[in-house]
Chains A and B, each alone.
Chain A
């Protein structure tokens, strides 16, 4: 009963019963699909820890201690800022059924430019202006880095998965060249940029250590959610993602929409880079590639490409990420153990997706467009009769 009322929230008029039970069922399915893979991954991780001769309970307690307890939640919140911004950028473009997988290159290029220009900029202009310029610069550069794949996709239908990945590699190396070359801090032989003074970095939210990049990130999530659910642009984007042929039928300009959504996605990834450098690191050196996007992607899908649902998942992951470091050290495991947990979540998502298809476990993680393209071969054959 309580489940039904929870599912019926947001419905003004009373509906006939079947509709309500369907909605309740759907809500339950979403819950099952979103939470169960995480729980299974934690359980499997525990078994793995046991097999390695570690105590899983103390491992997970250490994650709690390192990621939530005693003010360490603030570290998790700091880690959330770039995660959320990347998740916003990916949610947006995945909804269009476009796969921007070049986030690492986009991120590092933005980060390199921010680290390169920030030291002088924060000295020369008012801080608020410097921050604004740096955010815009980082966003613009990362956005521009998607332009080539975007145009190729819009004009020739080139597979963006390949082009964005290629551009990502180029971007990573270009960032490294910039750090060693024009942005190199002459005062150190290490290949790194000059360190931004602590008092010139992004200010904290009063009463915490959390920099205001988190607010930018939450704002970005809300904007993306608004765009996708309330605006004509978001509707066009989703139609393109769900059924590009229909989009053409409705007179939607696919080419323009493709380019714009690429730019928007890259821009958000660029904001993530600026927030991370200006809020947390203060400089960049070569070889640094946190690959946040790779870690975030599973959670974007667990949230079913719903921008608001991304918030709790990213928060969960931020705790895992922050506390996991400490827990792994104490258990004498490499910090890469975290990647195993993320991999397990992905694995169980796949299992649930498979079971879901067999037993109608509600909506899929995949977008309608992606499912369509996976299935289209089959459909064509069926129509041929």
Chain B
């Protein structure tokens, strides 16, 4: 295979050379804010042909926003994008494709019921008539260049995930892409699939294609990347240049990246400083030893995932009285299945949940609620409230039909309104009245409504799922203080969060959830951040036989 052939096929112009390749796309000062959060804060990035540029960062670091901007889904608030040195606006996904930017999204965009060829031709809306012969030969060319075998007539639903991804890559290259963006391409793949993907990427690189590779797995970034950029809380907080990758040992690089991603340096860079200050000014209960009795115990709990969502496997842990146990992990690794199984919203396929030593595995939500086992959901708007109902009723939705709020099935409005008024004052919910529709409140006040519901009527064990996600600094501090107070008053809290800083702030111990399994537990202390970071990155092998 000659280089010229490759280049013509993929639509690449510049020849491959051993020196640093030429700049293809330059981002300068890219800024994008969403209500309440700056997703990208003045990001500079240079993408070169023939280079794999890894974007590394935790959830919410701004990776997705950045690729959204590159692929035309999101318009930046500020900043410039230059392609081949010419300032260009990427106004739509279609425009991005015309500019040669192809994107492979994290979740499949293929239509399962159609064949590979049909899926590829879907994007060809330039002509009314579908040219199947041309499409076939184009597919043959591209698969030869990637040296993968793709059956054009196979139904996508029948393909393995790795092969589906190859089709996605072909689809992204279909119209002559020069920059290929891969959003967490390995998250669904087996180890073999990852190895195959690495080969494909290598070939793309040799043909001069620029690749942006998004991952939160450190070892992938190190083995695949030519250049690594580390994002944190919307900012570019560190870069590893090709020289560094060539000259330094893997261990050195790892240490440096972990320090940037999770260490003290990053924390001050990312502007968490003011938050920490506010939090430390509050009275803290300090970290207690876990001498209390076991209040919640999970024994080999296995919960099946719903749809594309991951379940959990063989989870066992104990939560003690007065303790705050954190569950760290990357989003989508089984957090929801775990939380819902404890709350009683989902039935485990195996294992047990014990509350004060008594099994509650078969009990419904309301019974667990009465026993003091509560769940503050992460999906506030989606399931935590019923938007059209007033604040007062929303505070009692887990006690429907119970006296004294309902008598013989008949609602006692005055009793509910009175108690709701007390709760609103106690939890400082800012609402015009208890009769206001809850959907009109701000996110922070809605979270307070949820907290008022779960933390009233004698709570014992409370599962908090991303309790401060999307909240402002002040409400965040309030919520964390409530969690601390719960533990100090003899309750116990399980805090499931993707925000490691939060867990380090309030937890006594931190367990790490990865791919639906608990891969380790770390006592909170000075080195906890780095230890949890390593467990999260998943370099500690937890290979299952594939």
A interacts with B = yes
> Chain B contacts of A233 at CB under 8 A?
401, 409
Interface size in chain A (residues, C-beta < 8 A): 25
Bound state CA distance, A249 and B397, in angstroms?
Answer: 9
The reply to whether A385 and B74 form a contact with Cβ atoms under 8 Å apart is yes
Instruction: List 20 A–B pairs whose Cβ atoms lie within 8 Å, in order of A's numbering.
Output: A231-B406, A231-B409, A231-B410, A232-B401, A232-B409, A232-B410, A232-B411, A238-B389, A239-B389, A239-B397, A242-B386, A242-B388, A245-B382, A248-B345, A249-B345, A249-B377, A250-B398, A251-B369, A251-B398, A385-B34
The reply to whether A231 and B411 form a contact with Cβ atoms under 8 Å apart is yes
Bound state CA distance, A90 and B29, in angstroms?
Answer: 57
> Chain A contacts of B388 at CB under 8 A?
242, 368
**B195 close to A (CB within 8 Å):** no
- What does the 1/0 interface line of A102-130 toward B look like (CB < 8 Å)? 00000000000000000000000000000
**A236 close to B (CB within 8 Å):** yes
> Chain A contacts of B65 at CB under 8 A?
385
> With contacts A19-B433, A242-B386, A242-B388 known, is A252 near B73, CB below 8 A?
no
With A238-B386, A384-B64 known, 5 other A-B pairs at CB within 8 A are A231-B406, A239-B397, A243-B387, A249-B383, A250-B397
**CB < 8 Å neighbour of A251 from B73, B365, B384:** B365
> Chain B contacts of A238 at CB under 8 A?
386, 389
> Chain A contacts of B344 at CB under 8 A?
251
> Chain A contacts of B343 at CB under 8 A?
249
The reply to whether B387 and A242 form a contact with Cβ atoms under 8 Å apart is yes
> Chain B contacts of A385 at CB under 8 A?
34, 64-65, 68, 73-74
> Chain A contacts of B74 at CB under 8 A?
385
Max chain A C-beta neighbours (<10 A), residue from B345, B397, B410: B397
The reply to whether A239 and B383 form a contact with Cβ atoms under 8 Å apart is no
**A230 close to B (CB within 8 Å):** yes
- What does the 1/0 interface line of A234-278 toward B look like (CB < 8 Å)? 011011001101101111110000000000000000000000000
Bound state CA distance, A385 and B34, in angstroms?
Answer: 10
B65's nearest neighbour on chain A, judged by CB, is A385
**B366 close to A (CB within 8 Å):** yes
The reply to whether A243 and B411 form a contact with Cβ atoms under 8 Å apart is no
**Interface secondary structure of B, over-half rule:** loop
Closest 5 CB pairs of A and B: A251-B365, A232-B401, A249-B383, A245-B383, A251-B366
**Interface secondary structure of A, over-half rule:** helix
**A290 close to B (CB within 8 Å):** no
Give the distance to chain B from A175, nearest Cβ to Cβ, in Å: 36
Interface size in chain B (residues, C-beta < 8 A): 35
**B364 close to A (CB within 8 Å):** yes
The reply to whether B366 and A243 form a contact with Cβ atoms under 8 Å apart is no
**A182 close to B (CB within 8 Å):** no
B385's nearest neighbour on chain A, judged by CB, is A246
The reply to whether A16 and B432 form a contact with Cβ atoms under 8 Å apart is yes
B365's nearest neighbour on chain A, judged by CB, is A251
- What does the 1/0 interface line of B373-384 toward A look like (CB < 8 Å)? 001010100111
> Chain B contacts of A245 at CB under 8 A?
379, 382-383
> Chain A contacts of B410 at CB under 8 A?
230-232
**A375 close to B (CB within 8 Å):** no
> Chain B contacts of A15 at CB under 8 A?
433
> Chain A contacts of B345 at CB under 8 A?
248-249, 251
The reply to whether A243 and B365 form a contact with Cβ atoms under 8 Å apart is no
A11's nearest neighbour on chain B, judged by CB, is B435
B400's nearest neighbour on chain A, judged by CB, is A232
The reply to whether B400 and A246 form a contact with Cβ atoms under 8 Å apart is no
The reply to whether A236 and B400 form a contact with Cβ atoms under 8 Å apart is yes
Bound state CA distance, A384 and B365, in angstroms?
Answer: 29
B106's nearest neighbour on chain A, judged by CB, is A384
Give the distance to chain B from A249, nearest Cβ to Cβ, in Å: 4
Bound state CA distance, A191 and B416, in angstroms?
Answer: 59
> Chain A contacts of B101 at CB under 8 A?
none
A251's nearest neighbour on chain B, judged by CB, is B365
> Chain B contacts of A230 at CB under 8 A?
410-411
Bound state CA distance, A251 and B402, in angstroms?
Answer: 13
**B319 close to A (CB within 8 Å):** no
> Chain A contacts of B377 at CB under 8 A?
249
Bound state CA distance, A121 and B76, in angstroms?
Answer: 77
B397's nearest neighbour on chain A, judged by CB, is A250
Bound state CA distance, A236 and B411, in angstroms?
Answer: 12
Bound state CA distance, A368 and B388, in angstroms?
Answer: 8
The reply to whether B400 and A250 form a contact with Cβ atoms under 8 Å apart is yes
**B142 close to A (CB within 8 Å):** no
**B139 close to A (CB within 8 Å):** no
The reply to whether B411 and A246 form a contact with Cβ atoms under 8 Å apart is no
- What does the 1/0 interface line of B419-433 toward A look like (CB < 8 Å)? 000000000000011
> Chain A contacts of B364 at CB under 8 A?
251, 253
> Chain A contacts of B389 at CB under 8 A?
238-239, 242
> Chain B contacts of A243 at CB under 8 A?
382-383, 386-387
> Chain B contacts of A239 at CB under 8 A?
386, 389, 397
Give the distance to chain B from A264, nearest Cβ to Cβ, in Å: 15
Bound state CA distance, A183 and B346, in angstroms?
Answer: 50
> Chain A contacts of B384 at CB under 8 A?
246, 249
**CB < 8 Å neighbour of A252 from B68, B379, B385, B400:** B400
A239's nearest neighbour on chain B, judged by CB, is B386
> Chain A contacts of B385 at CB under 8 A?
246
Bound state CA distance, A19 and B436, in angstroms?
Answer: 9
> Chain B contacts of A368 at CB under 8 A?
387-388
